[in-house]
Amino acid sequence: MSIHPSAIVEEGVKLGAGCVLHAHAVIRKHTVLGDGVVVHPFAVVGGDPQYLKFDPATASGVRVGAGTVIREHVTLNRSIHAGKDTVVGARCFLMAGSHAGHDCELADDVVLANNVMLAGHVTVGSFTFVGGGAGIHQFVRIGEGVMVGGLTRLTKDVAPFLLVAERDEVPGFNVVGLKRRGFSRPTISELKDCYRTVFAGGDPRKAAAARLAAGVTSAEARRFLEFFAAGKRGFARPTVDGGGSDDDAG
């Protein structure tokens, strides 16, 4: 473990083996950092939520998984609920100036590029990349393996394995991202078929449920379809058609 000069570690903090806290990093009370977490200068982990009704006496925190890197000026706000945590998974990379509001949940291997803004209660699935300057509305769900373009504005849920850009616009499927993760050709083909079915028109929830009932082969296709059973904000949809792939994006 390495704690550099002028770093601040408040009471009740738990630091895993091999953590590195650079100068002027601030780790607020009740924060838990997993093994090998690196926090760069002027990042604030566990700060009070930006919520007007919040009682600072609330016992809540932030949990960060092993191997995550938190760059300069990142802010991770603690939960607004007693006994609860804002959660960042393992091996995440939070670039300079990015922000995760209270009660966000980031799965493993998530990347937030510079100046990403996650409002409260946002969830982000594993292996998702959020481009620089993107703004995400509260309670939005972003599935696994999504590529969010820079400066995107999201007010609706984004199903797994999609590309999304501009304001809730889905240009296609994140095929390159799937290939980089080693997804098989049959799995990618089945995912494309599910994508076309769900976004062919009408209610995506009903279409996804019907396709799921008909049966799928891969676990990935099942996760894609099951995503539509939850959420309250509606779904980002394709901008042109339901054909659904973009082999040059990822």
Q: Show which residues are catalytic.
A: 102-103, 120
CA pair distance 154, 148, nearest whole angstrom: 9
CA pair distance 244, 173, nearest whole angstrom: 5
CA pair distance 214, 112, nearest whole angstrom: 36
Spell out the SS3 assignment of the chain: CEECCCCEECCCCEECCCCEECCCCEECCCCEECCCCEECCCCEEEECCCCCCCCCCCCCEEEECCCCEECCCCEEECCCCCCCEEEECCCCEECCCCEECCCCEECCCCEECCCCEECCCCEECCCCEECCCCEECCCCEECCCCEECCCCEECCEECCCEEEECECEEEEECHHHHHHCCCCHHHHHHHHHHHHHHCCCCCHHHHHHHHHHHCCCCHHHHHHHHHHHCCCCCECEECCCCCCCCCCCC
CA pair distance 54, 63, nearest whole angstrom: 19
